Structure 1
């Protein structure tokens, strides 16, 4: 069915997240206890909750979104052009509301789809959970209650690569490598985002990294559809 996919109906995205606080000593005692319980299985006896706090950004209960990058195709001169933009900043509520406006205005029909790598396990539920935290009404694209599986308009490039093998995981970096797509991990990777945000205070660097991931996801879909990859001239940041 991918060969029948209308690329203009797909919104590609990636998010970057960090712990809600720069350091463990800024976390309230109650939240420290809750974090210890939440991460006990992952930590086992190897790390204390404090030593494990640098990973807090992967959980929506203890992290926050600092960037959502999106990309969408348009046809220009009979060729695909990918337009990329980002919502970012220290105020998570503002960037989430701006992202919701985009969905509500331009991607709110049944034909529209969201696409990310591991999006069904991470990006989509993370965004939805943080919207609930900030009392932002969920856009229809993220509101799954009562929907049947075939009514959920989400594409996950990790799921596509699994081909039904649900125990299998392949990173975006590995998948782009084996499919001949320029690597999005040219500068930093996800494990370094919190340090770049809190220590370097270089949000621009994170946004550029997030946009590269978004472009890589769009390139993956082109490969899955057996279509030519985009060159640099076909990628426009707006």
Structure 2
């Protein structure tokens, strides 16, 4: 912040390329007061978070059970793994155009894109967590009379929670960056769209406002995930 303030105060860089912190703060207050292009700042943030959270919830309710099944069943893994490994390395924007053609430019195509971005890392993390469960733990539960369903719910699922949260944090990072790209390609609302629209008019102060807001939101989301992780699975990092 100090370097930024000094550089802009001494006009070492054209304000078009690097606006001053004061200009960025003024742009933030302006958007907070008047909104941007007819919509409030809260509405743009809400649109981005709605797309993100819906896609993440869909990924969690599908990737977690499918990952657990794939971890315990080689047949399920053989059926799903080739498809996931095929699309996982692809840049999201490469197939986003198809999703826009199929689902339109509204939220459906964006949520589908974000879902695909979140599904793969979460699915792989859950499989890794299941495969690392000691066989003695499962055998011990079975010897006490636990059924396969009880083992699945009370042994397999809690045991893979550390990897699940790690995969969730990775999925959020990938999904968040994909969200910005999706809003920059086809959208009329959202923080990513606001940044792209401001770039068309060389409003670098608004661009900085959008980038800072996106960064702060990303930090807050990750902090919430880490808080839940530490509160619900405190045994992470301990041998016992």
Q: Which has the higher helix share?
A: 2
Do the two structures share a fold, i.e. TM-score over 0.5?
A: no
Highest CA radius of gyration, 1 or 2? 2
Query: What TM-score do you get using the length of structure 1 for normalisation?
Result: 0.29
More strand by proportion, 1 or 2?
Answer: 1
